[in-house]
Amino acid sequence: MTTTDNTITNVTAQQTASQVSSTTSKTKSLGKDDFLKMLVAQLKNQDPLKPMDGTEFASQLAQFSSLEQLTNMNTQLENLGLYQTTMNNTQAVNLLGKVVSVNQGNQFQVDGATAEFGYNLPADAAQVSIRILDASGREVDRIDAGKQTAGLQNVTWNRGNNGTGMYSYQVNAFDAGGNAVEVETRMTGKVTAVQYKDNAIYLTVNNQEVAFSDVVAVKG
């Protein structure tokens, strides 16, 4: 009986190993279907004189259940990622023709009698002055903003006798001790194009390419 048991065990081990080898050669990682095939093969080829222990079988079933749940979770996460990508693409397209503020640059477009732009002060400033420059870099106006607290600052500029078109601004800020305060400028302009590349979304604002993720404000 010992010889028979050893023969059956060897044949079972060889068959199971052959099936596992065939399965893993088709895929680098085992999925729930592969796991189930292995479990069925193990049951079909088990030694009838030494059936699988019930506790061990229950443990393998629990492992299969956990694997199936993880697979379903991965599928749901993939679907969620696809949904998020679709939403981002839709939002980006809806920005066409709208005025946005972007966390970079210092340009703004003037189409009417007034124009708005903004910047951020990381700390309180005792004195703030703003230079307005035309497309050639020539100063056309200067604004004395006085004292400003830390945070986002919004400015409405009246162009007066200056023409429409592209302008830029420079902000000089100093604290109570006369030390310069770093200013975070923002570019404001109309979105004229949307591009998709390198798995990311880019907008064209003031003839410059900016990342969709850098948009911090949208105006109708």
Looking up residue 189, the CATH number of its domain turns out to be 2.60.40.4070
Q: Return left, alpha or beta for 18; rule: phi > 0 is left, psi -120 to 50 is alpha, else beta.
A: alpha
Six-digit token string for 71:
């697979």
What distance separates the 2 farthest-apart alpha carbons in the chain?
109
In terms of domains, do 115 and 89 share one? no
In terms of domains, do 172 and 213 share one? yes
Q: Give the type of residue at 185.
A: T
In terms of domains, do 138 and 88 share one? no
Q: How many domains does the chain have?
A: 2
Closest CA to 134 of 103, 101, 97, 161: 161
The answer to which of 12-26, 30-44, 85-99, 159-173 has the lowest mean pLDDT is 12-26
In terms of domains, do 49 and 149 share one? no
b/e for 155-169, b at 16 or more Cβ within 10 A?
bebebeeeeeeebbb
In terms of domains, do 30 and 109 share one? no
Tens-digit pLDDT profile for residues 105-160: 999 989 899 999 999 999 999 999 999 999 999 999 999 999 999 999 999 999 99
| Locus of tokens 């443990």 | 59
Q: Which of 69, 93, 117 is the last residue of a domain?
A: 93
Closest CA to 110 of 3, 188, 196: 188
The rounded percent of the chain whose pLDDT value lies above 70 is: 62
Tens-digit pLDDT profile for residues 184-196: 999 999 999 988 8
| Residue 178: alpha-carbon gap to chain centroid | 40
Do residues 171 and 120 make contact, with C-beta atoms less than 8 angstroms apart? no
- Could you tell me the residue range of the domain that residue 55 belongs to? 2-93
Assign 86 a pLDDT band (cuts: 50, 70, 90).
low
In terms of domains, do 110 and 133 share one? yes
- How far is residue 210's CA from residue 157's CA, in Å, rounded to a whole number? 24
In terms of domains, do 14 and 103 share one? no
CA distances from 15 to 18, 20, 185, 186, 213 (A): 5, 9, 70, 68, 55
pTM of full prediction above 0.85: no
Long-range contacts of 207-215 (CB under 8 A, 24+ apart): 208/105, 208/107, 210/102, 210/104, 210/105, 212/88, 212/91, 212/92, 214/102, 214/103, 214/104, 215/95, 215/100, 215/101, 215/102, 215/103
CA angle 88, 168, 181 (to 5 degrees): 90
